């Protein structure tokens, strides 16, 4: 092999095949993501469009609204699992720390909201504690990402 062949910027046969394989995987992944978004948003949209075309709201089946929620949960679970498999130990440790902080806030936030409601006769919704914990989760994840 000559020096010109060793320092060539053109990819070899194996590198080109690997790039093509990765390009194909990205294309399939993008197609699946777009298809799933259409499936999640399309079912209630189609029900609403049908109700509008027929002249008034009709009672659609309960699964019309439950199916996109179930599909979204399934997508999040599978996506999280696939992301977890590809992550290295540093990303996994950061994710575990972030989820632990989220769980601790929910663990102490929910009883705090219940006792606040009982003590002061207020009706603070439990979703306040959940979204507060979610906000802290996002802040902690961002901090861990930018700190490294």
0.95 exceeded by the pTM? no
What's the Cα-to-Cα distance from 121 to each of 57, 74, 118, 132, 144, rounded to whole Å? 38, 38, 5, 21, 39
Could you tell me the mean pLDDT of each successive run of 10 residues in the chain, 148 residues long? 59 79 86 81 76 70 77 83 86 89 87 84 79 88 84
pLDDT at position 6: 57
In sequence order, which ranges of 54-147 are alpha helices (DSSP H)? 63-86, 89-120, 126-147
Looking from the CA of 51 toward its CB, the CA atoms found within 13 Å total: 13
Q: What is the pLDDT of residue 9?
A: 64
pLDDT for 19:
87
pLDDT value, residue 4: 56
Which two tokens mark 80?
């999280």
């Amino acid at each position: 092999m000559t020096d010109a062949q060793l320092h060539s910027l053109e990819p070899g046969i194996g590198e080109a095949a690997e790039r093509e394989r990765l390009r194909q995987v990205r294309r399939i992944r993008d197609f699946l993501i777009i298809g799933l978004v259409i499936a999640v948003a399309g079912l209630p949209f189609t029900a609403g469009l049908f109700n509008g075309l027929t002249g008034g709201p009709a009672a659609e089946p309960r699964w019309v609204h439950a199916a996109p929620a179930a599909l979204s949960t399934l997508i999040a679970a599978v996506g999280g699992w696939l992301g977890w498999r590809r992550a290295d130990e540093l990303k996994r440790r950061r994710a575990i720390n972030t989820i632990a902080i989220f769980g601790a806030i929910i663990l102490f936030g929910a009883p705090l909201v219940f006792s606040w409601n009982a003590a002061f006769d207020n009706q603070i919704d439990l979703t306040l504690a959940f979204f507060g914990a979610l906000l802290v989760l996002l802040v902690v994840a961002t901090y861990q990402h930018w700190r490294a």
